[in-house]
Amino acid sequence: MEEDGDKAGLITAIDEGLDYGAKVGLIPEVHWALCKAAEYLGIKSPFMKVMDFILLQIQNRVSGQTISPKDRQDFLDKLLPLEKNGKATRLDTINACGSNIGAGSDTTAISLTATIAYLSMHPDVLAKLREELDDAVNRGAASDPITFKESQKLPYLRAVIQETLRMHPAVGAPLTRIIGIGGANLAGRYFPAGTEVGVNPWVIHNNKEIFGPDASKFRPERWLVQDAEKRAVMDRNFLTFGAGSRTCIGKNISLLEMYKVIPQIVKKFDFQVVADSKHGEGYMWKTLFFAKQTLYCIVKERACV
């Protein structure tokens, strides 16, 4: 944002790399042949561009050519001391940085954009959320900026975020698994070993038996239901971040970002989606992800702030 451009070409490289991975992941047999062809033609993998950037940043920090900001710590400030103490390897540091750049970029951005889109389409929800936030500020229950702990105590904010993630999970692929030796019974049906199975969160999140007859509607109040059993069923089938042992490792930091950014935007700004936006007309398939179609907003500081 500071340079108003794609610094080092990372955004383009990530898009290209994820696009390749999404397709080859469905037909892994062609990966070896494509890699050999790319090597022969001198074509560099998009992810190697990201890797080169990561290695350069680590080297610059280790050599002292760059230093961390004085007022905060970044991930390298946390990881490099672990290396020095033998609690992490350089490969661990590289992988952690790669996950931050590759996996933690589009996903949270899509979720934040979707939240703004749904709030703009549902002014009644926006008004109710803003009322809750303003009340928290007046009671001294919300700092500026709001803390994660404070935001967790706001039930309607939690419901809005949960409903956005249900309606618009960033990942739009089933992320299949392979049935192990002995097979498995799933949903009353037997699947032999070697079978690929998966469920797309977009499908299960629109299941009316789980989320109610209005499952296709954006209604945060569904998450405020007092029926503990019904809420447990919804929670169990909430797959925005996956489930089980393969739950997204970035889930907590993504939620942290949403619970801190959304309240600040809603408290401090009025936003209006402009006519050229297509947020109500459909979605854009972007590699593994589903992004709202072009969303342009006019943002103004709230007069009462």
Q: pLDDT tens-digit profile of 215-234?
A: 999 999 999 998 999 999 99
pLDDT digits (tens, 9 = 90+) for 273-305: 876 655 445 555 555 666 555 678 888 998 765
Name the more confident of 49 and 180.
180
pLDDT at 103: 73
Residue 59 clears pLDDT 80, i.e. is over it: yes
Residue 20 clears pLDDT 60, i.e. is over it: yes
pLDDT digits (tens, 9 = 90+) for 145-174: 999 999 999 999 999 999 999 999 988 878
Which domains does the chain show, CATH number per domain? 7-102 (no CATH), 123-301 (1.10.630.10)
Report how many helices (DSSP H) and strands (DSSP E) the chain contains, helices first.
Answer: 13, 8
Strand extents, DSSP E, 121-201 = 177-178, 184-186, 189-191, 196-197
| 248 annotated to bind ligand | yes
Distance separating alpha carbons of residues 246 and 249, to the nearest angstrom:
8
123-138 and 106-121 helices cross at what angle (nearest 10)? 100
Residue showing tokens 């037909």: 27
- Is residue 269 within 8 Å of 277, Cβ to Cβ? no
pLDDT at 1: 63
pTM of the model: 0.84
Q: How would DSSP label each residue in 3-26?
A: SSS-GGGHHHHHHHHHHHHHHHTT
Distance separating alpha carbons of residues 122 and 159, to the nearest angstrom:
14
The DSSP call for residue 298 is: E
